Amino acid sequence: MATWKLLMLQDSASPLMEQLSFFHDHTLLILVIITILVGQMMAGLFVNKLTHRFLLEGQMIELIWTVLPAITLIFIALPSLRLIYILDETNNPTITIKTIGHQWYWSYEYSDFKNIEFDSYMIPQNEMNNFNFRLLDVDNRMTIPFLSQIRILVSAADVIHSWTIPSLGVKIDATPGRLNQTSFISTRSSLMYGQCSEICGANHSFMPIVAESIAPSYFIKWISKMIQ
């Protein structure tokens, strides 16, 4: 989860987030190189006393500063397009979970099993335990097995919300009357925190998301308990 001293992205908990982190580093490296080169050229203008009053054109330099940015954009665009297709792909999910955004809480439905539906509210400050995180913990967590592909179907009951967990690399709009889907795989046992990322009203910042990733054997026990 994000802490007060975190300057970079959160630690990844899924292969998708790992790829997003690699793309972020790749793009940032290109931007740093461009910034250094442009800065060096601008600094050179201040100390260079040579002038060319009669210079009208320089076709070679114009060709270079047209071709180089085009090549740079290709180096950024190709990994970006690859990521778009990877993020949008959903193949043979192990579990499907339906998530509905409300003002201001989330409800979850495990449609592969019978009668597993619950609402997830933020824990008020006066009811928190010492191990709870303020404004981030909920009374009912979304529980998933790790190393399994999870498909999320997202919608909303009133206004537009956005179901977001940064460490999973998931951000998907919850739109009334529309069903959006995405998928992810959690790589480890962990608690993953997120929040609604669409300004949805007065209590927008008080509808957090908590996903608990556990071993498949414990997930089966949790499902059995919920069904009973």
Q: In the structure encoding, which two tokens stand for residue 148, read together?
A: 């399994």
pLDDT digits (tens, 9 = 90+) for 167-212: 998 999 999 999 999 889 999 888 999 999 999 889 999 999 999 9
Phi, psi of 64 (to 5 degrees): -65, -45
CATH superfamily, domain 95-227, is Cupredoxins -  blue copper proteins (2.60.40.420)
* Residues 181 and 154: beta-carbon distance below 8 Å: yes
Domain layout of the chain by residue ranges: 15-47+60-88, 95-227
- Residue 74 pLDDT level (bands cut at 50, 70, 90): very high
Mean pLDDT, the chain, as a whole number?
89
* Residues 185 and 148: beta-carbon distance below 8 Å: yes
* Other CB atoms within 10 A of residue 59 CB: 7
Type of residue at 225: K
Q: In the structure encoding, which two tokens stand for residue 40, read together?
A: 């060096």
142 Cβ contact list (under 8 Å, min separation 6) = 97, 99, 106, 108, 120, 209, 210, 211, 212
pLDDT digits (tens, 9 = 90+) for 77-105: 999 998 888 877 777 888 999 999 999 99
The pLDDT, as a whole number, for residue 218 is 92
pLDDT digits (tens, 9 = 90+) for 19-57: 999 999 999 999 999 999 999 988 888 888 777 777 777
- Residue 1 pLDDT level (bands cut at 50, 70, 90): low
Type of residue at 133: F
pLDDT digits (tens, 9 = 90+) for 123-156: 998 888 888 888 889 999 999 999 889 999 999 9
